[in-house]
Amino acid sequence: MRAVRSLFAALALGGLAAGSLVASGLGAPAQAQEEVPTPPHQQWSWQGPFGTFDLAAAQRGFQVYSEVCSNCHAMKELHYRDLAGIGLSPEQIQAVAAAVTVPQGVDDQGQPKEGPGTPGSQFRSPFPNEQAARAAENGALPPDLSLIVNAREGGPDYVFGILTGFAEPPKGFTMQGGMNYNVYFPGHQIAMPQPLHDGQVAFADGSPNNIGAEAHDVVTFLAWAANPELVQRKQIGWRVILFLVVMTGLTYAVKRKTWADVEH
């Protein structure tokens, strides 16, 4: 018993050493953080183990992207052929691609050549390079949107929050020149002016086009663009898990039978 007590004494000594380290840690000033609210959670069609993309919303979202976002933001990981994933027919894809002018290497004189896109073309980028983008955008670089929903903490809720979070800066908040106030952007000053407004995009199917509906549709499109494999992934996933559950049952039965003659 005495030995146990000496062990605890040793532990207590260690505790003292820890205490002194602790004190120096507490002395460090906590970094003052700019308060940015968490964007509220929205209902998204693709979430949950059975969720799939609302294809009509994704198609409307593609229209929003084409008419609004694509003026500044590239989506270079996508090709027009990928649009089959949101339900466009080969003819529709052909038409969408042909309506866009894309770079096509060089001509016989070695000059850069452009021409109508094909389903195999990459999504057209609004700027040839980063310098051109910054020159046109007041020094800011519009991020590529191919993976934006995966690339931000909060995912679709965050992107939706940014699109709908523009507001007048509160009294006493100093804005830098050319910046815009956004409730959900870290630091609240975002270079992008408010991109979506009520009634900005007219949908052929007559769907509501207030700012919330537009943002919801374009986020659905962007979520598909970031995870085009999602629906197939979940379908295969259920089959794999079902198979493995059956295999677990079978192997467990075999194991029970094998061990039945052994005391263990």
Partner 1 sequence: MAGQMHNSEFSNPVIQWIDTRLPIFTMLQKEYAVFPTPKNFNYFWNFGALAMVTLGIMIVTGILLAMNYQPNTNLAFDSVQHIMRDVNYGWLIRYLHQNGASMFFIVTYIHMFRGLYYGSYKTPRELLWMLGVVILLLMMATAFMGYVLPWGQMSYWGATVITNLFSAFPIVGHPIVTWLWGGFSVDNPTLNRFFSLHYLLPFVLTGVIFLHVAALHVVGSNNPLGIDVKTPQDTVPFHPYYTAKDSVGICVFLIVYAAFVFFMPNVLGDPNNFIPANPLQTPADIVPEWYFLPYYAILRSIPNKLAGVCLMFSSILVLFVLPWLDTSKVRSARFRPLFRPFIFVWVAAVILLGVCGAHKPEGIWVVLSRVATLWYFLHFLVIMPVLGKLETPLPLPESISRAVLGAGHGGGGGPLPGGAPAKPMEKA
- Contact positions vs partner 1 (CB under 8 A): 3-4, 7, 10-11, 14, 17-18, 21-22, 24-26, 28, 30-31, 49, 76-78, 82, 143, 146-147, 150-153, 155, 186, 226, 228-229, 233-234, 236-238, 240-241, 244-260, 262-264
By C-beta, is 173 or 243 nearer to partner 1?
243
By C-beta, is 28 or 204 nearer to partner 1?
28
Classify strands 101-106 and 112-116 as parallel, antiparallel or unpaired.
antiparallel
Phi-psi region of 139 (alpha: psi -120 to 50; beta: other; left: phi over 0): left
User: Is residue 209 within 8 Å of residue 203, measured between CB atoms?
Assistant: yes
Alpha carbons 108 and 99: distance in angstroms, whole number: 24
By C-beta, is 145 or 213 nearer to partner 1?
145
Q: Across-strand partners of 79? A: 122
* 3-state SS class at 255: helix
Give φ, ψ of 189 to 5 degrees: -110, 115
- Least distance in Å: CB of 230 to partner 1? 9
By C-beta, is 42 or 200 nearer to partner 1?
42
Alpha carbons 209 and 63: distance in angstroms, whole number: 12
Residue at token pair 């507490």: 26
- Least distance in Å: CB of 11 to partner 1? 7
**Closest Cα to residue 191, out of 232, 246, 136?**
136
- Least distance in Å: CB of 215 to partner 1? 20
- Least distance in Å: CB of 199 to partner 1? 32
By C-beta, is 39 or 201 nearer to partner 1?
39
Please name the residues in contact with 124: beta carbons below 8 A apart, sequence gap of 6 or more. 70, 100, 101, 102, 117
By C-beta, is 61 or 155 nearer to partner 1?
155
Give me the helix-helix angle, 211-226 and 55-67, nearest 10°: 100
- Least distance in Å: CB of 144 to partner 1? 8
By C-beta, is 41 or 76 nearer to partner 1?
76
Q: How many CB atoms lie within 10 A of CB 36?
A: 15
